[in-house]
Structure 1
Amino acid sequence: MAGAGIPSINDIPDDAEVVFNETPREYGPQNSTGCSESYQSSGHVAVLNAIYDATGVRIYTLPATPEKIKEAMNALSRGEAVRQERWDLGCDMFERLDHFEAKATAEKLK
């Protein structure tokens, strides 16, 4: 998992700004979602990568049903682009790190 971009202590700024982002989830308990599952949920990525290695099609949304895989394989064989909605998981971790670094640099210049 370290090769996937998990930040180390050197990647985290000394002065971090905590940003609370409320995005109610319609189906979650009390309109919420979990926050620690990212370290517990890499197994599905291995399965999606195995599907890609075996079939040549990338599945972007779960569940990876046989029908979804077959449809993507048929589109690939016809030379069409495989179109699937990607999940919006919010801002990218590296975007936030760049934001923090820029803010720290601006503070030092004051």
Structure 2
Amino acid sequence: MFVVAVYVYVKPEFVELFKTAILDNARNTRKEPGNLRFDVIQGEDDPTRFFLYEVYKAKEDFAFHQQQAHYFRWRDAVTDWMAKPREATKNHTIFYGDGE
């Protein structure tokens, strides 16, 4: 499996707009055949910090995701709302979910 972990820091005045936009992206991503998970997590101590945890069957499924209309809609909407560029890492699973 292929995992993308992303930190996004949003300007305070755009937090609610960001939440609406990321939920649209997440819900549509979950409909993609190669997506297994898309978690959106908001910081308790810092509500402007978001963590996105995305799991795909394969790296190619993530590339497919990045070509979808809902991804472009999200990316284009949130760019100016970010306090700094998003920080992403790309990863492979060793242990996932309930087992091997």
TM-score (norm 1): 0.26
Which has a greater percent of helix?
A: 1
Which structure dedicates a bigger proportion of its chain to strand? 2
Asked which structure has the greater RCO (Cα within 8 Å, sep 6+), the reply is 2
